[in-house]
Structure 1
């Protein structure tokens, strides 16, 4: 009986060893390709949702940006949460602000969180607006503690944005600095200025070509934030 037990134990040990054993000369096991290692969340307004003027579905800047990054060998897994009319303080068509959108989209494993906009905050209370931005970034940091933040200010299609828009741009830049975020200023960079062909008939929203233009601007910014 003792001999039988010894044999069984030996076989059990051998089985455990051979489970990890590779015959000399056998090909190395191939690990499956892993896509979506870089998780990107985007929070935005109608410049991100697209609409009647253009930018819906595959024609939206986010969809095009992911294609640009993929062609460069940077696959991404993405969550886009955007609402027409929304901003840090302005409530969108469904009553949500950026903080609400972030709450539903961000994850602990996000690599980059992008905030884009918003001109919808033009009429926000000057004292309340910085508080709302601060609260949004604090929530995002708790939800995505290891993510890099890319904060893109409100774009304006002409060279003479209203003073209220410049005010929220400046406040947003300051709060982005407090949040250790990278801030990008489309107004200072002149996005859309002198390019009426990229803006729809409403004079506000980008066309399909305008969304392709946005993707060309934003994809490298996201790529620069990825490890």
Structure 2
């Protein structure tokens, strides 16, 4: 059993209750105001007179101040070791926990009364994307291109909101070294609180993103389900190819939690894996799941946990997938943890009792480009035959939210 440095236990959070959830029609809705004008230029020079609100850790010069940013979805921010990276922060709260290879998906929130703001970034590649939200409503449904042109160069994204008024601003980032926000000297910036507690997902590429969806992990079911569940601090801690007994190019779940989960004391934790393990030993999967759940419950006694079973990208999976699903359900029940099955749609409480059946998540055997028309797999599953499309992630967010809601007290 590995040694862990456990965080001090939190006071148990108020349990999620159905009565407290936001209206799903508005929680995931688009911003209804006038669309802002957004443009990007390859420069690190702001409009003359603008004041830089720098991320913590970036050296201040001249009129610069440290911005009162509320970071969501990540922690352990640092600047790079040498220029130009010393002007940009990235979080290291995800395996392998380095500046260039840590958590690539995260957000900042702040309040401002500025009509125009300029966001500084280092452009990495076409994977450098962002999404703007105003007053809790996203301006675009999916992540959008940052507009960068030259890899490795600093860029400025200018966002013209059309008028000066107090607003709550959120910027969701994907592979986006963040250099701060510049505001006119007549504008202000202030801190805003996050809401709904900290929700964390420990998972594989279905959560972490793949080529079939837009915006990597920022475009998966995670952020959308978080909005539907009423939390603004969602941590996408998936790593593709990983699982309970399968490390892929990274590490198994058990070996990641000491650095990626436990120190950040989530209020709610969803564990979703098993697909990358399903051809392995069921006894090994069972033992690894039991050890993982036990370690997490010991270290995070106040955390509400949910286990999602084995993913299936088809309505007719091979025997090892439902077998793995059953193995994980049994381990979750033994650990007193609610379980949700993608294979059957079954929702089981902490005692292992079936409380609702919503039906299998994926139906049919097709994928994008297929002509069978036999089920939602035709549009939900990408051409690789495994990973969800943008449409699929929208559907998964709804299914996962419905399943968790069924397990909540009224």
- Asked if TM exceeds 0.5, the reply is yes
- Asked if the contact 1:45/1:85 (under 8 Å) is kept, the reply is yes
The alpha-carbon distance between structure 1 residues 141 and 197, as it changes in their structure 2 partners (threshold 3 A), is same
State the Cα distance separating 1:107 from its structure 2 match. 4.3
* Cα root mean square deviation, aligned: 2.3
The alpha-carbon distance between structure 1 residues 205 and 51, as it changes in their structure 2 partners (threshold 3 A), is same
Q: Does 1:61 align with 2:215?
A: no
State the Cα distance separating 1:165 from its structure 2 match. 1.4
Q: Secondary structure at the match of 2:302?
A: coil
Q: Secondary structure at the match of 2:362?
A: coil
Higher relative contact order (CA 8 A, sep 6+): 1
TM-score by length of 2: 0.43
- The residue that corresponds to 1:159 in the other structure is 315
Query: Any unmatched runs of 5+ in structure 1?
Result: 1-31
Greater helix share, structure number: 1
Q: Secondary structure at the match of 1:90?
A: coil
Q: Does 1:101 align with 2:256?
A: yes
Greater strand share, structure number: 2
What are the Cα deviations for residues 154-190 of structure 1, in whole angstroms up to 9, with x where unaligned? 1212222111112211110000001111111110121
- Asked if the contact 1:177/1:183 (under 8 Å) is kept, the reply is yes
CA distance in structure 1 between the aligned counterparts of 2:231 and 2:384, rounded to whole angstroms: 35
- The residue that corresponds to 1:211 in the other structure is 393
CA distance in structure 2 between the aligned counterparts of 1:80 and 1:100, rounded to whole angstroms: 17
What are the Cα deviations for residues 78-128 of structure 1, in whole angstroms up to 9, with x where unaligned? 32211111111111222x111123332234742211011221111222221
TM-score by length of 1: 0.76
Query: Any unmatched runs of 5+ in structure 2?
Result: 1-190, 346-359, 364-374
The alpha-carbon distance between structure 1 residues 46 and 108, as it changes in their structure 2 partners (threshold 3 A), is closer
CA distance in structure 2 between the aligned counterparts of 1:200 and 1:108, rounded to whole angstroms: 33
- The residue that corresponds to 2:87 in the other structure is none
Larger Rg: 1
- The residue that corresponds to 1:84 in the other structure is 240
Kindly report which structure 2 residues correspond to 1:8-19, keeping only aligned pairs within 5 A, or say none: none
The alpha-carbon distance between structure 1 residues 159 and 43, as it changes in their structure 2 partners (threshold 3 A), is same
- The residue that corresponds to 1:137 in the other structure is 293
